[in-house]
């Protein structure tokens, strides 16, 4: 009997750990976030800060590096705005009419608004796989057909200190 109870508890725990998380617009808007990149060496000066309002995600990426060809330090900030919306299903394509409508969702879809370096019709949908008071983990699950990207790629957002 103890084994059956232990097995049931393990099954429940595994399901709880793999359950999707829901995010709210108010939580996204509550603070500024930093994108944490895997494999970034300590002391790296490139940083990306993100903030949200009801309809847009504002990214500000600061680049600071030595350019090997020009032999000079590059110290610039690139700002890009993305419209976004939350939903409980993975959209088959970007739907601008949903921006700012839902206040919660299991998925977040981003669409380029200002960058000339990104496809103006491009979008990416991420599953909210983990959320705490200080961190959000997003996992790419859908993007513009024909783009080269990697389903399963993670984006980690941490509260800016």
SS3 content of the chain, % helix, strand, coil (to 5): 15, 45, 40
Task: Compute the distance between CA of residue 111 and CA of residue 126 in angstroms, rounded to an integer.
Answer: 12
3-state SS, residue 98: helix
Q: In this predicted model, what pLDDT tens digit does every residue of 114-154 receive, in sequence order?
A: 877 777 778 999 999 999 999 999 999 988 887 777 888 89
Q: In this predicted model, what pLDDT tens digit does every residue of 22-49 receive, in sequence order?
A: 889 999 999 999 988 755 544 456 789 9
Alpha helices in the chain (DSSP H): 2-18, 25-29
Task: Compute the distance between CA of residue 65 and CA of residue 75 in angstroms, rounded to an integer.
Answer: 7
3-state SS, residue 122: coil
* Residues, the chain: 161
What distance lies between CA 148 and its chain's CA centroid?
17
Please indicate, yes or no, whether the overall pTM of this predicted structure exceeds 0.85: no
Closest CA to 127 of 89, 80, 74: 89
Closest CA to 82 of 36, 20, 144: 144
Q: Give me 90's structure tokens.
A: 């993975």
């Amino acid at each position: 009997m103890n084994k059956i109870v232990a097995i049931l508890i393990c099954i429940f725990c595994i399901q709880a750990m793999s359950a999707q998380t829901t995010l709210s617009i108010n939580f996204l808007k509550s603070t500024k976030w930093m994108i944490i990149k895997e494999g970034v060496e300590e002391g790296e000066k490139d940083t990306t800060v993100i903030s949200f309002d009801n309809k847009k995600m504002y990214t500000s990426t600061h680049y600071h590096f030595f350019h090997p060809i020009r032999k000079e330090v590059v110290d610039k900030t690139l700002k890009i705005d993305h419209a976004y919306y939350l939903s409980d299903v993975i959209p088959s394509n970007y739907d601008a009419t949903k921006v700012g409508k839902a206040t919660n969702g299991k998925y977040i879809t981003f669409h380029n608004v200002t960058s000339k370096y990104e496809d103006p019709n491009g979008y990416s949908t991420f599953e909210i796989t983990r959320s705490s008071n200080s961190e959000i983990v997003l996992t790419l699950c859908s993007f513009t057909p024909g783009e080269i990207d990697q389903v399963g790629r993670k984006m980690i957002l941490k509260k800016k200190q």
